[in-house]
Copies of this chain bind each other. A is one copy, B any other.
Amino acid sequence: MPPRVYLAGPDVFFPEPLLWAAGKKTICDRHGLIGVTPLDDVPDEPAEWGALPFWRRIALRNEAHIKSCQGLIANLTPFRGPSADVGTVYEVGFARALGLLIFGYATTTEPFLPRTLKALGGDARSRDDGTWRDADGLLVEQFGLFDNLMIEGGIAGSGGALITGDAGRWDDLALFERCVIAATKHFSPTG
């Protein structure tokens, strides 16, 4: 049975989510992985989920999908702010607690600090001690990372990696494919 990887990302918000899902699944298949998306059905979905509001069913389905997988590949491209999509990051944390192998990618290489300062505009202030703070006095993270340390800590702790590149396009799949290939090597180290 090929390893199953959950495909997390705000890509479900694309104009053509089914096409997107099919494209990513094809890449997984080409490299010997089964790509599982939020758009897939959940086998043996509990009957009681049918009585829940649709958004709760989606959340439960995504959690069930992640539980059925051995790995997760997340699109961590900054989304409507300096950080990744929170729904995706929730799933990264969820997968990490279950011990999945986690890879992430982003279609920009700009680090977290300059990205955050740009988003804060003129509101960020530097202090004599070298730190940056926003208008509310809250610190800006300065570890030289790509995003919040929990995300990259979880990826590193899982044995995976974060791959970034200046693709510039949301729907570019070259970086995704690099994650798939790296995941394959982890699952079959002698292959």
Contact = CB atoms under 8 A, between A and B. Distances in A.
A86 B87 contact: no
Given A86-B147, A89-B93, 7 more contacts: A15-B137, A58-B153, A80-B81, A81-B83, A90-B96, A93-B97, A138-B170
Contacts of A150: 59, 62, 86-87, 90-91
Contacts of A89: 86, 89-90, 93
A60 interface: yes
A98 interface: yes
B91 A94 contact: no
Given A54-B143, A91-B93, A82 B80 contact: yes
Contact of A116 (B60, B80, B138): B80
- Chain copies in the assembly? 2
Interface of A: 10, 13-15, 53-56, 58-60, 62-63, 66, 80-87, 89-98, 116, 119-120, 133-134, 136-141, 143, 145, 147-154, 156-157, 170
A153 B13 contact: no
Contact of A119 (B13, B81, B95, B157): B81
Contact of A82 (B54, B81, B136): B81
Nearest to A169: B136
Contacts of A58: 149, 153
A138 B14 contact: yes
A151 B55 CA distance: 11
A59 B93 contact: no
